[in-house]
Amino acid sequence: MPVTDVTTDAENLTMTVVADFAAPIERVWSAYSDPRQLERFWGPPGWPATFTAWDHTVGGRAVYSMSGPRGEKSSGAWEFVSIDAPNSFEVIDSFVDESGKPLDGFPAQRMSFVFEPTAEGTRMVTTSHFDSVDALEQVVEMGQVEGLKMAMAQLDTVLQDLRDYAQGKGTRVELLDDTHVRITRLVEGPRELVWRAHFEPELIRKWMLGPDGWEMTECVAATEVGQSYRNSWAPVGDTEGEPFGFEGEALLIDAPRRAVSTERMQGMPVETLNDLNLYEEDGATLVTLLIEYPDKETRDMILATGMADGMESSFARLERELLSV
């Protein structure tokens, strides 16, 4: 976790976040000065950001919007007060509506980002200044500390070459908290084809089979918001196990970048929220699946089924059967 310290100071009306990164200062600076790179980490998991305006000059303005998995929206704006590349920049950060107008009742804050070289890479110190104790307490209650921690934790992926970060590491599972799990897998192939492999039944049937010895007996895809999907599997030959399946509804479709859906095992009431994101770099696609569970017990029970191993078998088959031809 890059964040090493968080301090709130009610007397000086500040909140300070310290984070360390194993990358040179110029590389970290570039991530904060390029809106396309910022979009990959500025929003916390499940709330990716899109920058709709970007004027990276003193007096200039950047506007961004974060989209939640259930269609929620939260927008903000930066007004650049100072820029000293690659050492620091300062902004006025405000909550705004869809037109970019500041929202009443939501505090603005002056944020300074300072980058310092270290023996291991770069230390970033972010200090937020508030007008009152109430404003400081309001953003803390709104989850800004947790949001910054999770956003900065995603920066490691951005700072590294995608293949250096994920190639050869298989399907990785990260426990973000008691109810959120992030699963990542780099697949060698273009994003458009990886997207199609997730949403076209004739392609799904070729790879989404889990371990050898299983077949897909039903495949109904959801390609529009509000549609339902249903996938079922059964053992073949001497393979041990019982038939099972999953079903759910599409909540968000942003092809070929993001899809959010509910998921539940057929015949079971427990439901998860699955947030699929695809990012391509140099012909490879990073598949990221953020899963929200109703509670820790359900999370642990499902992970204990060997889900990650089954996903790895499927992803390996995806590369072998579809992406290598």
- pLDDT, residue 1, reads 54
Residue pLDDT, tens place only, 190-222: 999 999 999 999 999 999 998 889 999 999 999
- pLDDT, residue 206, reads 94
- pLDDT, residue 181, reads 95
- pLDDT, residue 156, reads 85
> Selecting from 1.10.10.10, 3.30.530.20, 2.60.120.200, 3.40.50.1820, what CATH number does the domain 3-155 have?
3.30.530.20
Q: What are the residue ranges in the chain where pLDDT is below 50? A: none
The residue whose two tokens read 């393979």 is: 239
Q: How far apart are CA 272 and CA 314, in angstroms?
A: 20
Residue pLDDT, tens place only, 222-269: 999 999 999 999 999 999 999 999 999 999 999 999 999 999 999 888
Q: How far apart are CA 147 and CA 158, in angstroms?
A: 17
Query: Got the DSSP string for 177-205?
Result: SSSEEEEEEEESS-HHHHHHHHH-HHHHH
Q: Which residues contact 168 (CB under 8 A, 6 or more apart)?
A: none
- pLDDT, residue 325, reads 58
- pLDDT, residue 43, reads 87
- pLDDT, residue 286, reads 95
189-213 as b/e: b if 16+ CB within 10 A = bbbebbbbbbbeeebbebbbbbeee
Q: CATH 3.30.530.20 occupies which residues in the chain? A: 3-155, 163-323
Instruction: List the strands of the sheet with 61-67, edge to edge.
Output: 3-9, 14-21, 122-129, 109-117, 88-96, 73-84, 61-67, 49-54
Q: What is the DSSP letter of 44?
A: P
Q: How far apart are CA 249 and CA 215, in angstroms?
A: 23
Task: Considering the domain delimited by 163-323, tell me its CATH architecture.
Answer: 2-Layer Sandwich (3.30)
Which amino acid is it at 310? G
Instruction: List the strands of the sheet with 244-254, edge to edge.
Output: 172-175, 180-187, 284-292, 272-281, 258-265, 244-254, 228-235, 214-220
Helix (H) or strand (E) holding 49: strand 49-54
